[in-house]
Amino acid sequence: MLNQIPNLLMQASTDPLVTQGIPVSPKTFWLPKGASTVAADLDWVFEFLNYINYFFFVLVVGIMFYFMWKYRQKGREVYARGPSHHTALELGWTILPTIIVVFIFFVGFKGFMIAKTPPANCYQIDVTASRWNWTFKYPNGADSQDLYIPAGRPVKLVMRSDDVLHSLFIRDFRVKNDVVPGRFSTLWFQADNPTGMEKEEDGHWLFCTEFCGKDHSNMNRRVYVLNQTDFDAWLTKRAQWLDVIPAEELYYKAGPILFKRCASCHTLDGSVGTGPSWGNYDGSGNIWERTSNPQTTHKVDNGKPLSDFIGPGKQYEAPEGYLRESILNPGAHVVDTYGNVMPTFKGQLNDRAIDALIGMMKNLKDFDAKGKFIGELPATATPATATPAK
């Protein structure tokens, strides 16, 4: 048996169980309509187990009631001798259940191998779970909060958690896996029927199914299945979301969204964090005031004032240069009393994103402690919120 496992693995990896175009499994009393290529098989096993249970429940309880009635006490005599042995019956109730159970094992084992073995040509999406958010990151650098996938193509999620245990469950696809801090876990599926994305309800539900704290129930998202053309168009547009925001609006439209990546370490109101607050935490002003003021008492690299680096003719002509370097190459200068633990954002934040963040630093008074824009919009502004907030 054991030496057949590699064989099964190979089979599953080149030949996903169900080929493209197979009808989805129908809605039943117990299950919503299935929408992935493994759904039909899983549903079949589920219903099979279910009906076996009904069958034996009715059989056992039925016989029980029949015997209760048949052998009830009649009159005063007690008849206490029953049959002690029946070979055919005993063989029957041993062999038949054994066959059923072994059958269930093999069906389950096959399904398990398929579920655990992504095909080789998967489209990969990186997933980060955090309290209480999902981030889906696509190969071209785009990211999203709802999941968008191409139809008719196996998709593999590579998942990790930023904090506690989460679990990703897509009900209509019949797939689920834990997302464990300090580890990568994977999940694969293929959905052949596009859902479109006009309305929110078009998407399939995606849930976190591991209780992860106060806002666990806010981790419900949607999965939109798009045909390849729509998917490619969405993906390109998504990767360019920053480019369509006018430069002068970047700081309040894109700033708060980008700041979410910094918020786990930097506060805005001066309170203590893993990194120095962008608010006034050491008496030298908020992050823009302390970097743009030559008299600043803010010290980096073991006691050096920023005026050693920033100013005409110095390493950074303007404070923006220092801030930019601090984001792309955090180890270049290390703020005193803090550790060199900030990850680099090189390759993740382009110049427009950095402009948006620096713009936010320059206008900190217009943001609340959570990074929400509360200032007055410039007269020329279009008030719409930026797209990727979704």
Where along the sequence are the contacts to Cu ion (CB under 5 A)? 166, 208, 212, 219
Taking the least distance from each CB to Cu ion, the nearer of 137 and 153 is 137
Residue 271 beta carbon to ligand HEC: minimum distance, rounded to whole angstroms: 14
Q: Which helix (H) or strand (E) holds 57?
A: helix 39-70
Give the span between the Cα atoms of 293 and 279, in whole angstroms.
15
The binder of 357, among Cu ion, ligand HEC, none, by C-beta within 5 to 8 A per type, is: ligand HEC
Question: Quick one: which of 35, 262, 364, 386 contacts ligand HEC (CB under 6 A)?
Answer: 262
Query: Which option in ligand HEC, Cu ion, none does residue 342 bind, with CB closer than 5 to 8 A by kind?
Result: ligand HEC
Using CB under 6 A as the criterion, what x/- string covers residues 333-362 for binding ligand HEC? xxx--xxxxxx-x-----------x-----
Nearest to 147 by CA among 127, 161, 164: 127
**What letter would DSSP give residue 275?**
S
Q: Cis check for the bond before 132: say yes or no (omega within 30 of 0).
A: yes
Spell out the residues 6+ positions from residue 284 whose beta carbon is closer than 8 angstroms to its own.
Answer: 290, 293, 296, 297, 298
Task: Specify the stretch interacting with ligand HEC by CB under 6 A; choose among 19-27, 214-222, 224-232, 323-331.
Answer: 323-331
Instruction: Name the strand (E) or helix (H) holding 231.
Output: helix 228-239
Least distance (Å) from ligand HEC to the CB of residue 381?
23
From 217, 232, 59, select the one nearest 148 (Cα to Cα). 232
Verify binding: residue 327, ligand HEC, rule CB under 6 A.
Answer: yes
61-120 residues near ligand HEC, rule: CB under 6 A? none
Q: Is 326 in the site for ligand HEC (CB under 6 A)?
A: yes
Q: Which of residues 261, 269, 305, 352 is near ligand HEC by CB under 6 A?
A: 261
In eight-state DSSP terms, residue 186 is: E
For ligand HEC, the binding residue among 18, 40, 265, 328 (CB under 6 A) is: 265
Query: Which string of DSSP letters, residue by residue, matches 297-359?
Result: --EETTTEEGGGTBSTTSSBSSHHHHHHHHHH-GGGS-BTTS-S-PPP-TTTS-HHHHHHHHH
Query: Is 274 one of the binding residues for ligand HEC (CB under 6 A)?
Result: yes
User: Which residues contact ligand HEC by CB under 6 A?
Assistant: 261-262, 264-266, 274-276, 287, 323, 326-327, 330, 333-335, 338-343, 345, 357
